[in-house]
Amino acid sequence: MAKWRLYSVACVAAFSAMTAQSIAQEMTAEDILALLQAQREALAETSTINLGTSRTLEFVTESTPETDAGISVGTEVAGDAQAVAAGDGAAALPEELVLDLTIFFEFDSALLKPESREQVQALCSAIQTAGGEGKYQIIGHTDAAGSVEYNLSLSTARAREVVRYMIDSCGIPADRLEAVGMGEARLKDPSNPDGDVNRRVEIQVLL
């Protein structure tokens, strides 16, 4: 447990000067790798230690995800807490270990903008450096503009596009990635529901 806490302290120190509006920003492969390693350490502790309820995003294991062209896809599940039906399941993470990336898409589209490919490449490099057989969820989030149904569909399509790029351009095995759409269910800044900060892609380790 001490090891992941050291990662946690390092992450908090690195991001302490950021405002809530700037947390989701371009990160280096080294930054991403540090957070992924910290997530894995923290999640490993959940086999024996309860991390608490610092986040409302939880994962359930009883549902079988749909697939699209070999891409595993999670779906939102109704309940008291926001949940995602995930093939392998994951536990709640402390907020300081949440990995949000700003990845730009064409307007009202799931098409990646060219300037975002470098950020996805950094994510790929981090995962490749980490090695092993670990799995990852790529979770799409939107702002609250538009209908709930539309935002859920758009966030899922964008998560799938990131996963597809990681498979086709980076060579990450498809069975190590799962695309999840959360729509507007977990706004980064609930006080500004239409704000840019809410439109992001989150990455979470699966055990």
pLDDT given for residue 174 in this prediction: 96
Task: Return the biggest CA–CA distance within the chain.
Answer: 44
Q: Is the pLDDT of residue 129 over 50?
A: yes
Helix axes of 29-45 and 2-15: crossing angle, nearest 10 degrees: 140
Question: pTM (2 decimals)?
Answer: 0.70
Return the pLDDT at 47: 58
Question: For all residues of the chain together, what is the average pLDDT?
Answer: 74
Q: Give the model confidence (pLDDT) of 39-76 as tens digits.
A: 988 888 775 555 344 443 343 333 233 334 445 554 44
More confident residue, 9 or 89: 89
Note the pLDDT of residue 201. Answer: 93
pLDDT: which is higher, 155 or 86: 155
67-103 as b/e: b if 16+ CB within 10 A:
eeeebbbbebbeeeebbbbbbeebbbbbebbbbbbbb
pLDDT tens sequence across 149-165: 999 999 999 999 999 99
Neighbours of 63 (CB within 10 A): 16
The residue that leads in pLDDT, 71 or 175, is 175
Is the pLDDT assigned to residue 89 strictly greater than 90?
Answer: no
DSSP SS3 for 138? strand
Say how far apart CA 137 and CA 159 lie, in whole Å: 9
Of the listed ranges 14-23, 40-49, 108-117, the one predicted with least confidence: 14-23
**Mean pLDDT value across residues 160-188:** 95
Output the CA torsion sign for 182, 184, 187, 188: positive
Scanning the chain, the segments in alpha helix (DSSP H) are 2-15, 29-45, 117-130, 148-168
The pLDDT, as a whole number, for residue 191 is: 95
Residue in 66, 67, 60 with CA at minimum distance from that of residue 85: 60
